[in-house]
Amino acid sequence: MQRKTLGTTGFDIAPIVFGGNVLGWTTDEAESFRVLDAFVDHGFDTIDTADVYSAWVEGHVGGESETVLGKWFAARPGMRDKVKLFTKVGSDMGGPGEKGLSEAWITRAVDKSLERLQTESIDLYFSHWPDPDTSHSETLGAYDKLLKAGKIRAIGASNYDAALLGAALETADQQGLPAYQVIQPEYNLFDRGAFEGPLQDLCVEKNIGVVTYFSLAAGFLTGKYRSEADLEGRQRAGMVSKYMTERGMALLDTLEDIASAHGAKPAEVSLAWLIAQKGVTAPIASATSVSQVESFAKAAALSLSQEDLSRLSGV
């Protein structure tokens, strides 16, 4: 499996990152352990989560995903040293002052995450969302203290556009503060506008690592959703319905045609397309079963021709 260098972090990672949003949500603890074990057994080594996962579920308060991961690490001695661990801060956790990127909240939030994760250090800590009420200087200054304390090892930003990321990099340079080393944009075969163009160019120019989220468009690019009837009773129905367009169907047709030629699945082709894109280090993808992890391994090994890539991009 070809490994990728993640920007300037010093980390070399496998080409697919596990999306931990499903842990403790669509995957219970026991199945989460099986899926995570399989992920590592197949040669993958990087897991992405966030403090807010999965607060959107009725009865949940956030921290469920981190808690499952912490229990998994505790039950697997030595496992924490085998994986790179990403988590995020900034989403609304519900309590007073428990959101945004202020130094006061970051300082509290990181300790909460470390406790849930049952670890002493987070490999890559992301600003989950931009915070217009807090300066880059304050946020990066808070991260500087966490880096020096050994609580985090690298920093990244999620959902930043080129202008915002550029401003943050400029602040870091001018004030001698740590700079964002990784960006996490929404990017997949259907949703391309948030990354392609100025942000992609900036990441290539500055050697910013890129790990993409919604890499399979909430499951749409697996090809299992072809009609509104396919969405009935599905927990992600609300997220997938926006893809049920003429363009979406044309994309699935092309995916299935190319997948058939390679003896692969549409999801595997979708991930292989992402891996091949300029500037992308690794897509983030969620799995709720061991068989889906096995599909990740096939995607990582799949080599698409230039014609395949052009056909997919052209749709």
> pLDDT tens for residues 80-96?
999 999 999 999 999 99
Within the chain, residue ranges assigned H as helices are: 29-41, 64-75, 103-117, 136-149, 162-175, 198-206, 228-231, 237-240, 246-262, 266-275, 290-301, 306-314
Q: What is the pLDDT of residues 271-291, one digit of tens each?
A: 999 999 999 999 999 999 999
| pLDDT confidence tier of residue 241, bands split at 50, 70 and 90 | confident
**Per-residue DSSP letters for 186-206?**
B--SS--TTTTTHHHHHHHHH
pLDDT class of 224 with cuts at 50, 70, 90? confident
Residue 91 structure tokens: 């989403």
pLDDT at 242: 87
Q: At residue 234, does pLDDT exceed 90? A: no
pLDDT at 151 over 70: yes
**Confidence at residue 46, expressed as pLDDT on a 0 to 100 scale:** 98
Sorting pLDDT into bands at 50, 70 and 90, what band is 237? low
Count of other CB atoms within 10 angstroms of residue 168: 23
Looking at residue 179, its pLDDT comes to: 98
- Choose between 46 and 228: higher pLDDT: 46
pLDDT of residue 312: 97
Give the residue-averaged pLDDT of 62-69: 98
Looking at the DSSP bridge assignments, the partners of residue 88 are 126
